Amino acid sequence: MNGTITTWFQDKGFGFIKDENGENRYFHVIKVANPELIKKDASVTFEPTTNNKGLSAYGVKVQAESKYIYIAGERLKLTSIKSYLVYREEVPAVTRIDKENAVLSVGVLMSSIRPKKADKPDEVRSLKKLAITTFQGTTLIFSEDEIDIDSTVKLLKV
């Protein structure tokens, strides 16, 4: 069963896990395979059981946090990210599909099949973008047509 550690009393060696059904389960540090990873809000797997005091868990394994983030098919090591910036850029409202570019975003594909309104050739739109700079000096730029920028920024803040 899966769950999340909601409370952890390190000095006492026990805590509580909220299981996938929303119920709280007691666990003790001696029932944890990797106790060095125990912390509040950590994801866990465990075997559900009950004892004379109620619901509990044994065979608890704390899931290690990922050191990587995946953005639009790019794998980035979190510790290699130097900085990031969210900004807006004015781009042509009518996006043409570049047949030389094999990678197409869902946003570009969707805009190519939407019913066309009377777009003026010079019309522009404001496009939200995310620029990520690594310690290696690489800058990756993603647009809101490719990724959900707000949820990606939340992952970067962790």
Q: pLDDT tens digits for 119-143?
A: 566 788 889 999 999 999 999 999 9
Looking at the predicted structure, is the pLDDT value of residue 72 above 90?
Answer: no
Give me the pLDDT at residue 95, please. Answer: 59
Q: Please name the residue ranges forming H helices in 5-116.
A: 106-113
**Cα 2 to chain centroid, rounded:** 18
Q: Which helix (H) or strand (E) holds 149?
A: helix 149-157
Q: Which tokens sit at 7?
A: 């409370």
- pTM for this one? 0.48
Q: What is the pLDDT of residues 15-37, one digit of tens each?
A: 999 999 999 999 999 999 999 99
**CA-derived radius of gyration, the chain:** 23
